[in-house]
Every structure is written in structure tokens, then in C-alpha cells.
Structure 1
Amino acid sequence: MTKGLCHLHEECRWKIVHMDIKPQKILLDDDFNAKVADFGLSKLVDRDQSQIVTTMRGTLGYLILEWLHAAILEKVDVYSFGVVILEIVCGRKVFDESQNQEDMYLLEVFKRKKEEGQLLDLIDKSSEDMQWNGALVAWCLQIDFKKEPSMSTVIKVLERVIEVSNDLDYNFSYPTLTNASVRIGQEDVEFGATISMLPSILFGPR
């Protein structure tokens, strides 16, 4: 999956931003290689453009709310990739209604455990790879897209060619949608802060 996203962002004639990276859009082949699927919300960006203004697309929980009114660039996929890897590393979904309120949203738990110095409580302590990936997750989840790695950099981290940046902000985006509004098509839609509805909210055509 990582190399697939790198190919879309950096190697195609046009940059292809998938816009909806999440577990349901990742398929496994017979050899259990992950493949990116379903490009219904994707956006083509000319390589001469660093970003493009368009209607925000994607699934809440896997996109960053601070960018809802911003121009689109391939870093939206990097953020979504980080959320997916966090789910894998922690062995739970980004939203889990079976948890108590403070533990329902995985990124908030990740942030809190970091502040408490208990980050390893979330991941497999016996697996060095899991610990390594946990650090990579934080890099991919930076609210400031300029601090996020490119997918080619992510590959180098996974291959242990380079180290994860140590200048990371753990103040991750938290999707409380009180008084938040986004434009879907020609209509402005207001949302309340109902966490249980977030995973099903989708932006863009289906």
C-alpha cells in the first residue's frame, strides 16, 4: 500500500490524490500484499500545481478537520495512511463505541498516552516493528502538513534507511464537530458533536 500511494503521488504523469484511504479501501492479493482500491473520490493534480482547491472528500476519522476549507494536496492521503497504521499498531478501530467516552477516539488516546509517557501501553511491547511504526504514525498525523513526510519518505522509514523526525507535535486533530460546518456540493452542512455518527459521514460523490 505504501509503495502504491507513493506511485500515485510521485510517479504518475498526474499526481493522484486518493482522498479516502481507510481499511475498507485496502485489498489483499493472494500473497497478502496490500493494494489501494476504489478511486471514486480521487483527484488528479497537475504536477505543476502544488495544491488545488476542490470540495473536500473522504471519511471523517480518516481526514483532518483543519483542512476542510483548505486547498487539497497529497498530504491528505499521508494523514489517512497514518490513521490506518495507528489502527493496525493498536489493534482497534479509530472509533470504538464500546470504550468509555475518553477512550472512544483512538487519536485522543494516542495523544494522552504520549503525554503520560505510556505510549507503549497501546502497542505490542514485544515487537520492535510495532514500536517503530508507532513513531512513524505520529509523523504522518502532524496537523501542519509541511511537517508530514511524503510517501517516499515513509518508505525509507519502513526500510530503516532514515529515522523518524524527532520534531513532532502530538496535538493531533480531534473531531469534535461542535459549531463546525463544511460545504457538500452547493450546501453548507452544520454538524453537532456526536461522535457515534462520525465514521459514517462521507464527503464527495458515491
Structure 2
Amino acid sequence: MEEKKASITAAVIITGLVVVIVVARLSLKLSRAFFLVAGADIALILGVFVCLVIRGRYDRRRKLLEKRLVSEGRELRIEYSFLRKVAGVPIKFRLKELEDATDDFRALLGQGGSASVFKGILSDGTAVAVKRIDGEEHGEKEFRSEVAAIASVQHVNLVRLVGYCCVPRGPRYIVYEFIPNGSLDHWIFPGNGTKNCPEGCLSFDLRYRVAIDVAKALSYMHHDCRSRILHLDLKPENILIDENYRGIVADFGLSKLMGKDESRVITTIRGTKGYLAPEWLLEHGVSEKCDVYSYGMVLLEMIGGQRNVTVIENGSDKSQRKWKYFPKIVRDKLGEGKVIEAVDHRLVEAGGIDERQVKRMVHVALWCIQEKPKLRPSMAHVVEMLEGCVPVEEPPNTQMIVVDLLSIDGEDSDCQLGPKIAAMGLDVECCNIPSSSSSSFAMSMLSGR
């Protein structure tokens, strides 16, 4: 624009000077005054041409320099982006970039209580899953917990954080790598498929391998990080299956950082019913053993291809409602020497199941869901047991307090549970036990990407 303006100005000036020469010639003839005016005008015209030439050279050099700087800047950005990816440093995205990547958040992959997950393609062609966390206070807490937990860790079985985006007084966005095969629940529970993730059935060998993958991820979080990371919401919906059918632990919205010198931390009851450790429900604080308990429950669901806690309705009469607790069924089948009857019937029909591996998985799972936290193994020991590096001993006969909790109607007094819990050695006051109807659970579900 400035170049065009300068050219127009020069043309106007030259035209004006030529007009002055013509007028002087007509009015002054060939007098001395005419030659003085003509000489001055010609000098000015030459000066304008010189200025145009100098400005043209300056503009060409400026453009060349700008082009070089832009090229070098692009190379630096590419190199910086490469180094960020290599170092695992999360990128701060602009909202417009995420809107373009997700087609204005139209490709919904899954939705939970406070978050939605969308598929997106970044400008460099990278496929990502964008998690949008809604809500003011809860959204900020979940966002900070998730970024703090996963930003600095690198493990092949943990979902990789690509970046994040913060909007003032708006939703928070967390950008993860895209895992193509969705979450584990679509692969182990019949009739649990969706449009974005059709139902599948993992073979027993693949389930066993996924169990080891998840155990290694939790072991890394508990033992190999500078600060121990407690996931606190492990369930099939938060375990993803990649293109090679390996297990990837995801959704760290409820996670907690814990110092190496701390044995347990106090936090409000959050998570998902059916996977919460008894000591958390009894407000005894949380430790890495809560993740071990959740892992044991997930392991049992992988074995049986069914939810651990299901309700059997008998008509419309709620008083006739019965609960089915799968861990108790597995324990009973193990005691009868018929553990193969507890395995997912689809796997049994397909055949080729190693009963020794089934028993090993069942033993490990029953060790993990012991009511007393000190009886549960560490995740590092779980990995060794599943990989066959150490023998797996027969687990003690757990009291399975959840069976008692399920057998009590919500209107009954909590105090009658006291003797049963006290028998477990948990040493709690009878009336301090929260009932299933009074406890509040912050449900968090991250569906498959």
C-alpha cells in the first residue's frame, strides 16, 4: 500500500513539474528566466527519479530480508515443535485452532458427567482427542489435576498429552493423542458398542496382555515418578485400546499427586461406584492401594466379560430386587475348582483358554480386592505375578463387605453394618459408615477416543 502511494505521489509531482515547464515556455519564451525555471524543474524531476530508484532498491532488500526472517522463523517453529514433541512438553493451543481441528466440536467421541471428548485433526495432520471440561470450580480442579498428573510423565501405556487450552471464564480443553480402538468396555462387555466404537470381543490372550499393560502403567505412576500419582478412577471406560491392542491408561481428572514420604492423603469421595476401595468409602484416606483395589475389580470384569455389580429386577417391586456380585461368584467357583465357569462365555465357546492363566488372573484379582489395604500387593508385584516371575499364592478368603452393603435396603439403618465391618479389622465406629444412599460420588467418565 505504501509503495503504491509513493508511486502515485511521484507521478503527480513529475506531471506538475512538466506542466510548469510548458507554461514557462509559453509565457517566458526562450528568455533567461525560462531556462532557470526549466533547469530547476528538470533537476527536481531527476531527484524524484533517483528517490524512486533508491526506494525501489530499499524495498527489494527489505522484502528479501523479511522473506529470509519468515523462512528462518518457520524453521525455528518447526524445530521448536519437534523438540516439544520429543521432550513431551505440552503445547498451549488457541481456541480457534481447536475449533478448526474438530470442525467446531462436531465429531463427538464420548461424553461424561463434566466432560466431552471430540476427535480432531491438527494442522500438521496429527489425529488428537480433545477433552472439553465444563463447569467453573469442578472444571478448574479437574483440569489442574489432569495436566499436573500427566504433563511430566512418559510411558508407553499412558495416554500422551499433546497440549491444552484455557478460555477465560469458559471451558478448559485438554488435547490428547488419538487412540483408535476406543475404550476397554467396548471390547469386554456384550452389547456395549456405540456408533463411534462398535462392539468387539478381545481374545483371552489380548485381555491378559492388556492386564499387564495397565499394571505396568500403574506401577510406573506409583513407584517410578518423582511424586507418586494416584489415578483414583480406574475402570474399563478409562482404559483405551490402541491399534496394536495394547492397553493405555487415560483420564486423570480425579488423580492425586502424593509425596514419596506420605503413606496416605485425605480427599473427598469421588470416582465411580463399584471400583472404590472400602477405606475410601470409610473416609480413612487414600493411597496407591486404592488403585490396586480398582485394578482388581477391572481384572475380574475382564475375566468374566460382565460388570462386577449388577441388579436383577423382579418385576416392578423394588423389594424383590436382587444384586449380583461377580467377585463372590468367582471366589466360589475358584473354591469349587470350576474357575473356568466364571470366564466370559464367548471366550469359552471360542476355546484355546489356558486355565493356568485364568487361575493366575483370578488369584491376582482376589489379592488386589482384599478389604485390608496392607494385604493388597503393590502394582510392581502384580506385574511380576502376571508375568510369571514370582509364584502366586492362594489369596485369603475375603469377607466381601460389598455383598453385605448390597443386601441392605437404602432405608435400613447403617448401624447394623458395624459388627460385619468390625469383623474385618477395619476398626471403625458403626454409625460413621456412609450408606449408599447418602454418599456422594463425582462421576467421571471419559469415553473411548
Question: Structure 2 length normalisation: TM-score?
Answer: 0.39
Q: Mind listing any 5+ residue stretches in structure 2 that lack a counterpart?
A: 1-213, 315-320, 415-433
Q: Distance in 2 between matches of 1:8 and 1:171?
A: 29
Query: Which one is further off, 53-62 or 107-116?
Result: 107-116
Show the counterpart of 1:191: 436
Alignment map for 1:1-206 (pairs within 5 Å): 1-68=214-281, 69-97=283-311, 104-114=324-334, 116=336, 118-123=338-343, 126-128=353-355, 129-174=357-402, 175-176=405-406, 178=410, 179=413, 191-192=436-437, 202-203=441-442
Q: Determine which structure has the larger helix proportion and give its number.
A: 2
**Does the C-alpha gap of structure 1 residues 105 and 58 become closer, same or farther in structure 2, counting only changes over 3 Å?**
same
Q: Mind listing any 5+ residue stretches in structure 1 that lack a counterpart?
A: 181-188
Higher relative contact order (CA 8 A, sep 6+): 1
Task: Give the C-alpha shift of residue 171 in structure 1.
Answer: 2.0
Task: Give the C-alpha shift of residue 110 in structure 1.
Answer: 2.5
**Does the C-alpha gap of structure 1 residues 59 and 205 become closer, same or farther in structure 2, counting only changes over 3 Å?**
closer
- Residue 109 of structure 1 aligns with an amino acid whose one-letter code is I
Secondary structure of residue in 2 paired with 1:156: helix
- Residue 35 of structure 1 aligns with an amino acid whose one-letter code is I
Secondary structure of residue in 2 paired with 1:58: coil
Give identity over the alignment, percent.
33
Q: Distance in 1 between matches of 2:444 and 2:342?
A: 35
Task: Give the C-alpha shift of residue 111 in structure 1.
Answer: 3.7
Q: Distance in 1 between matches of 2:224 and 2:392?
A: 23
Q: Distance in 2 between matches of 1:167 and 1:93?
A: 22
**Does the C-alpha gap of structure 1 residues 67 and 93 become closer, same or farther in structure 2, counting only changes over 3 Å?**
same
**Does the C-alpha gap of structure 1 residues 158 and 205 become closer, same or farther in structure 2, counting only changes over 3 Å?**
closer
Task: Give the C-alpha shift of residue 143 in structure 1.
Answer: 0.6
The answer on whether the counterparts of 1:139 and 1:164 sit within 8 Å (CA) in structure 2 is no
- Residue 96 of structure 1 aligns with an amino acid whose one-letter code is T
The answer on whether the counterparts of 1:98 and 1:104 sit within 8 Å (CA) in structure 2 is yes
Q: Deviations over 1:77-126 (max 9, x none)?
A: 00000011101111211133458866622123234434555444212594
**Does the C-alpha gap of structure 1 residues 131 and 47 become closer, same or farther in structure 2, counting only changes over 3 Å?**
same
- Residue 155 of structure 1 aligns with an amino acid whose one-letter code is V
Q: Distance in 2 between matches of 1:151 and 1:6?
A: 5
Q: Deviations over 1:122-165 (max 9, x none)?
A: 12594232222111111111111101000000000011011223
Query: Which one is further off, 104-113 or 49-58?
Result: 104-113
Show the counterpart of 2:103: none
Q: Deviations over 1:153-187 (max 9, x none)?
A: 0000011011223352332231426445xxxxxxx
Question: Structure 1 length normalisation: TM-score?
Answer: 0.80
Secondary structure of residue in 2 paired with 1:202: coil
The answer on whether the counterparts of 2:272 and 2:443 sit within 8 Å (CA) in structure 1 is no
Secondary structure of residue in 1 paired with 2:248: strand
- Residue 401 of structure 2 aligns with an amino acid whose one-letter code is S
Query: Which one is further off, 58-67 or 138-147?
Result: 58-67
- Residue 160 of structure 1 aligns with an amino acid whose one-letter code is G
Q: Distance in 2 between matches of 1:46 and 1:20?
A: 19
**Does the C-alpha gap of structure 1 residues 5 and 118 become closer, same or farther in structure 2, counting only changes over 3 Å?**
same
